[in-house]
Amino acid sequence: METAIDRTSDASREIVEALRRRLRVAAARHEDRVDEHVSRYWIAWRSRNRDRVFAEIRPLRKRVEVFILPGPRELRGGAGLARHAPRTQGWGWFRTRFDVRSMGEVDSAARLILQSYLHGVRRSRGNGRRRVRRRQGL
């Protein structure tokens, strides 16, 4: 079976590899590893320590489409790449999507993906906020 990497252009393959390298360095700083699941159409990146998928990558002919966990308003930087993801994407987990069209956008894209990775880390440790349900009628 051909995978998403096999089916794409050299430019998209180069972008995915550059993102992968940056992400692995960042995960190593957190004493973590990133597991990669490659299917026919997409690539999922999962934190091994947190057991959480934090990015879905779709290498296409002229661009690489990326879906990440945090919403666009939660992100810093990224040179205006981030947009709202459709609710149907990633079972509703991914709230942001963006396209990487050139190697010049890789640094900005990597910053956004790293924020998604860290978002998953913070969520698994707890973010200091708890939802309290108020009981009514008592």
At 133, the pLDDT band (50, 70, 90 cuts) reads very low
Does residue 34 sit within a domain? yes
Alpha-carbon gap, residue 55 to 72, rounded angstroms: 14
Does residue 57 sit within a domain? yes
Number of domains in the chain: 1
What does the H/E/C string look like for 29-81? HCCCCEEEEECCCCEEEEECCCCEEEEEEEECCCCEEEEECCCHHHCCCCCCC
Does residue 3 sit within a domain? no
State the pTM of this model: 0.81
Going by C-alpha positions, the residue among 98, 95, 117 that lies closest to residue 58 is 98
* Range(s) of the domain holding residue 116: 10-125
Average pLDDT of the residues in 124-137: 43
Q: What is the CATH number of the domain that holds 63?
A: 3.90.1150
The pLDDT tens digits for 13-26 are 999 999 999 999 99
Does residue 117 sit within a domain? yes
Does residue 101 sit within a domain? yes
Does residue 56 sit within a domain? yes
- Identify the pLDDT of residue 125: 46
Segment among 36-45, 59-68, 70-79, 100-109 with least mean pLDDT:
70-79
Does residue 131 sit within a domain? no
